[in-house]
Structure 1
């Protein structure tokens, strides 16, 4: 008996694959323009205000695992359905590659559990090749994107401060929260070292912007999803209110298999597997928008082969999957004796850093090409399972630790934890890697997932630029720690461990697999995120990036998705699609 593929009876103007930052923004713009939109998401619905899904304001002990990260990668109660490893959805690696691929399977995607660090790329970030000779320039510049950054700021809300730093552009900011004690100490150390420490820029509402969303009440649990929608998640801020329009049909648990095309090579719809009944369905649409994440969108294009697209859809250049790159990451913790025996008070704040360090140096004077920013953590958060400080290792390094006997049990151990609680800080660098053609993902020739869809195979290495950048991060961490009067925890990673450089993919900022450009032979998309080869196919996730910056990519994904979606509306009006 032949396998039957079921076709959805309704034909749409646009079919969007993925409901994260890019997909959510595209759905909002296109539906508000009056277009009929099919929004496909590989996971279930998610709304942290729904009592059945709410995990905010629960104690760790309310979980049978005490909040341990055994069922979700960031903790039992966190809004992260997915992970680097998903049962039945493998990916492979070659040539010793250590790439780790995070997949989010839920409405809103990764925007449910990200750090909400909402930084604009600066003028230099779009033209790095012209400045240092590495990689390629974008076909657009900051002035092209600035109006859309401005609108995203006002639409979603972001707190911050006007600093006037050229390559760290200011925006339209809500008031930032006050720094916590450990952040004030980092600020004082930075001032002495000539390192800028400024208020963070996070998409968390410190005051209300509309009737649908409340203001932050400082529970510091944004990673669990906000019950009043004070932080930005595509699921709650873009998609949930959009569903009232009647112009969007949301298909959940819909695992996209391929983009369908006609004999001329034009896209006609999407084939997907419904995870609930294991049947294959087809959705027809005039325009296809891929927003499934950089690697998943590349996978879809490469799996969408036909007589008109023998190397995969939109891949006449052979560039799909290439120039993959993730942010660099390295970290260090420290014990600060001045923070011992702290008075107890609530300093939870927002679910993230109140201050950060933007890139402050000139790479022309350094031995690596691109910069990084520094994020910091500390204070007195709610303890969870496995909570501790490595106190035993600190005692031998602290010449005057106080009258504390390491270890023990019972009342003495509890007292020791109380004394040290709040006395540790952490620093994490997040930097830019150079986009290279030899870092890529491709279709594995033999492996499929449990839905029968061919999986990705990764090839990735860090260059000397990224390794030297990580060394600079570690040196800077120690400078700041020393200036704070602190003691670094653990042993500083050396050259043999690439100075603690995280595996690519671990920072979850992967971009570049379907990059934009003016030359169809060296790029997949044009400057409006439109495929060179297929005019009615667009990619609005991080795959469009020519290069990453020393910033988190989400705000740029949102701005470019807004820009591309308005271009789609205009092109449809002109009957060009």
Structure 2
């Protein structure tokens, strides 16, 4: 097949436009570098009337907003999902890994929950506390200046609480708790479980002229038409373009491999254009991978040459290893005191106004690490399957509800807003035996070999999730509520979700000082190939009990500064 090669040479080629790729695009282009951004999905701008779904009613969808077109609802800004036609992946024996891919400019940042938590000092040095896994080669003090910069550039609401492992930051005013959150606060504090204002990247106050302020429509998963919430496109790439950055966007382009010269140095990337199905090559002095932890690993493993027979930068045989995702499980409760609520608009931000960070010490527990608690409920816009489950009310409470016509309308008004959900999101211990590799027998519709996953939860994670459910039951009891559904038991691994379902996968190109046991150094530069950097969550040594996005952003900024300095010194 003839491959068309561009004559233009970029200073930097960035693969992926999510959190890491967007930040690298902004910092590197504003430093005067010529940047190419290669994205596997289409262009997306939530302010474009042709793409805007914010403020549409569920009845404007023939499916009433059901999750049949997109995983979280028809209107959700997630072009992709766990299953994408023509883009399969496979699982090994006893593995049920769920791999979420977002195919659009800005990637997953268009529809995520925007929970924007810093890792704490302990999170970078977990082996020092429990002897499990490995420490990062960097500490909180190395990343703190960049967390501070990200807070100020993007905006995050919250409060400074002086918590040792949930560091303070530069926060905008948080929204007030809603009624269901007040119930949660009361129930949690009865058991000495702390509750604090959430830390989320929606603007509750004006920070610049490019972005609006949140108007509390509660639909952040649809991406914001006034750019009040953080998305990589609206907050990083678009501003970089407006400030004069030399940026060429290549959308709907699936990268096959990183190309190399006779010395094994990267020379650019090869990609398939989804529109004409032809292969093209871009030339670049530096390649920055930000395609997501598993996608970047796939690209590296497919980038084989005589200099890199095991995949690019994989002399350690570590690429793809130590894959891990957050643990997760949930319960939903019925709160009788919330029946027959007066209905009013309490939408708020798209997510929770309060949350519980990890509050216990592990010495008295039978599992390592910890989890934070998220919760939801209230009077948000109902869609298809909005939490009013007739069968549950009949089965668990003997309540005759539902039916048709006026009886159904009456019961919906009676019970709507009377359910509260609680979720745990916890840290798993990175295992070398959990990994992804290239499946030698299968390719996607573009002819690119696909990933095969191998993953099993350990007793550490299963016991942690058991503790989650014990905690949920206690809080629900304190709220005067009743759990909907049976508490999962040991035969169900206490309801732990499949790996990948929380969409926090990290660790496939881990960071370290020893090139025999890691893929990149402390600046996310590949040990084997000095002009290749990885700025997604692949370099994470451990996950923490926090969402990874804020750390991806901070580390990408740090790496971008390093690239600029190394170019000045002519080291790369």
- Normalised to the residue count of structure 2, the TM-score between the two structures is 0.99
Between the aligned partners of 1:438 and 1:221, the Cα distance in structure 2 is 39
How much has 1:409 moved relative to structure 2? 2.0
Q: Residue 30 of structure 1 contacts residue 569 of structure 1 at CA under 8 Å; is this kept in 2?
A: yes
Partner of 1:357: 356
Distance of 2:262 and 2:314 partners within structure 1 = 17
Residue 190 of structure 1: how far off its partner (Å): 1.7
Alignment correspondent of 1:79: 77
**Residue aligning to 1:317:** 316
The SS at the match of 1:428 is: strand
Aligned partner of residue 333 in structure 1, secondary structure:
strand
1:521 to 516, 521, 531: 516
Show CA shifts across 1:504-528 (max 9, x none): 0000000000000011000000000
How many Å separate the matches in 2 of 1:405 and 1:452?
Answer: 55
Q: Are the equivalent residues in 2 in contact too, given 1:302–1:313 (CA < 8 A)?
A: yes
**Counterparts in 2 of 1:186 and 1:388: CA distance versus 1, 3 Å:** closer
How many angstroms apart in 1 are the aligned matches of 2:196 and 2:459? 29
Check the 8 A contact 2:32/2:245 in 1, yes or no. no
1:536 maps to 2:531: yes
Pairwise CA distance, 1:191: 1.6
Structure 2 match to 1:512: 507
- Where does residue 66 of structure 1 map in the other structure? 64
| In structure 2, distance between residues paired with 1:335 and 1:102 | 31
Conserved 8 A contact 1:512-1:545: yes
CA distance in 2, matches of 1:346, 1:492: 32
In structure 2, distance between residues paired with 1:333 and 1:66: 22
* Preserved contact between residue 98 and residue 503 of structure 1 (Cα < 8 Å): yes
Give the structure 2 partner of residue 555 of structure 1: 550
Alignment-derived partner of residue 219 in structure 2: 221
Report matched runs for 1:123-272 at 5 Å.
Answer: 123-244=121-242, 245-272=244-271
Question: What secondary structure is seen at the aligned counterpart in 2 of 1:542?
Answer: coil
**Secondary structure of 1:469's aligned partner:** helix
Name the SS for the 2:538 alignment partner. Answer: helix
Q: Which deviations, in whole Å up to 9, do the C-alpha atoms of 1:369-393 show, x marking residues without a partner?
A: 1100010000011111233423443
Aligned equivalents of 2:391, 2:86: Cα separation in 1: 41
1:7, CA displacement in angstroms? 1.0
Name the CA distance, whole Å, in 2 between partners of 1:396 and 1:18.
47
Q: Distance in 2 between matches of 1:407 and 1:249?
A: 55
Judge which range, 499-508 or 62-71, deviates more: 62-71
TM-score by length of 1: 0.98
Q: How far apart, CA to CA, are the structure 2 residues paired with 1:380 and 1:411?
A: 20
Q: Which residue of the partner structure matches residue 92 of structure 1? A: 90
Distance 2:170 2:493 in 1: 38
- SS of 1:538's equivalent in the other structure is strand
Instruction: Name the counterpart of 1:307.
Output: 306
Q: Deviations over 1:15-73 (max 9, x none)?
A: 00000000000000000000000000000000010000000001011112211111111
Deviations along 1:270-305, whole A, 9 cap, x unmatched? 000111111111111110000000000000000001
Counterpart of 1:115 in structure 2 is 113
Map of 1:333 onto structure 2: 332
Give the corresponding residue for 1:435: 430
Distance 1:68 1:456 in 2: 29
Query: Would the aligned equivalents of 2:333 and 2:481 in 1 still touch at CA under 8 Å?
Result: yes
Q: C-alpha separation between the residues in 2 aligned to 1:570 and 1:166?
A: 32
Cα-to-partner distance string for 1:64-100 (whole Å, 9 max, x where unaligned): 2211111111110110000000011000111120001
Deviation at 1:332, TM superposition (A): 0.2
Preserved CA contact (<8 Å) 1:392 1:407: no
Structure 1 residues 573 and 458: CA distance shift in structure 2, 3 A: same
1:486 pairs, out of 466, 481, 486, with 481
Q: Secondary structure at the match of 1:429?
A: strand
CA apart distance, 1:246: 4.3
Distance 1:129 1:413 in 2: 55
Q: Determine if contact 1:219/1:350 at 8 Å carries over to the other structure.
A: yes
- Could you tell me how far apart the structure 2 residues matched to 1:106 and 1:250 are? 12
Shift of 1:11: 0.6
Query: Cα offset for 1:396?
Result: 5.8
Q: Give the equivalent residue in structure 2 for 1:282.
A: 281
Q: Deviations over 1:304-341 (max 9, x none)?
A: 01111110001010000000000000000000011010
1:496 equivalent in alignment to 2:467: no
User: Conserved in 2, the CA contact under 8 Å of 1:23 and 1:290?
Assistant: yes
- Residues 388, 417 of structure 1: 8 Å contact kept: no
> Which segments of 5 or more consecutive residues in structure 2 lack a partner in the other structure?
none
SS in 1 for 2:372: strand
Distance 2:95 2:36 in 1: 36
Count the aligned residue pairs.
571
Structure 1 unaligned runs (5+)? none
Counterpart CA distance in 2 for 1:386 and 1:74 is: 11
2:52 corresponding residue in structure 1: 54
Aligned CA-pair RMSD: 1.0
Measure, in 1, the Cα distance between the counterparts of 2:568 and 2:256.
30
How far residue 9 of structure 1 moved from its aligned partner, in angstroms, is: 2.2
> Which runs of at least 4 in structure 1 moved beyond 4 Å after TM superposition?
395-398
1:444 equivalent in structure 2:
439
Give the secondary structure class of the aligned counterpart of 1:455: strand
Range 452-461 or range 185-194, more displaced: 185-194
What CA distance in whole angstroms lies between the structure 1 residues aligned with 2:334 and 2:527? 53
